Amino acid sequence: MNAVFWREYRECFNSIAQDKYCRAVVVSAAGRFFSVGLDIKDPDVLPSADDKDVARKFMYMRDHVAIMQDTFTAMERCPQPVIIAVQGAAIGGAIDLLCAADIRLCTEKAFFCIKEVVS
């Protein structure tokens, strides 16, 4: 889930919500895993404020996380039923994505994991 994902996924669901011809949405992934979560190597995913004031850094991060949360809220608000098909791993932020869907279907090899990393 890189910076482009957060923007385009939200825009996609805002557009689908207005589409009177769309009756349902299926979200799936190609490849070995469904999603391994945040792309922490993308500097735009979790940017840091260049401020030494802890409170300002917190507010900057809070605003940034609110934008990411709005991406999943756009899917949750979508009036069409949203079905997610999971194969392989669904890790970290992918769990939040799954929770915002109406229906979740999984293969036998699907697995789920949330691990917080502190540096």
Confidence of residue 23 (pLDDT cuts 50, 70, 90): very high
List phi, psi (to 5°) of 26.
-115, 125
The residue ranking higher by pLDDT, 87 or 43, is 87
Predicted structure pTM score: 0.82
Taking the C-alpha atoms of residue 107 and residue 104, their distance in angstroms, rounded to an integer, is: 10
103, burial (CB in 10 Å: exposed 0-12, middle 13-18, buried 19+): exposed
Q: How many CB atoms lie within 10 A of CB 12?
A: 16
Q: Return the domain boundaries, the chain.
A: 3-113
Confidence of residue 51 (pLDDT cuts 50, 70, 90): low
Taking the C-alpha atoms of residue 8 and residue 16, their distance in angstroms, rounded to an integer, is: 12
Q: What is the CATH number of domain 3-113?
A: 3.90.226.10
List phi, psi (to 5°) of 33.
-120, 155
* Average pLDDT over every residue of 76-81: 97
Confidence of residue 3 (pLDDT cuts 50, 70, 90): confident
Contact 83, 27 (CB under 8 A): yes
Per the DSSP assignment, residues forming a β-bridge with 104 are 84
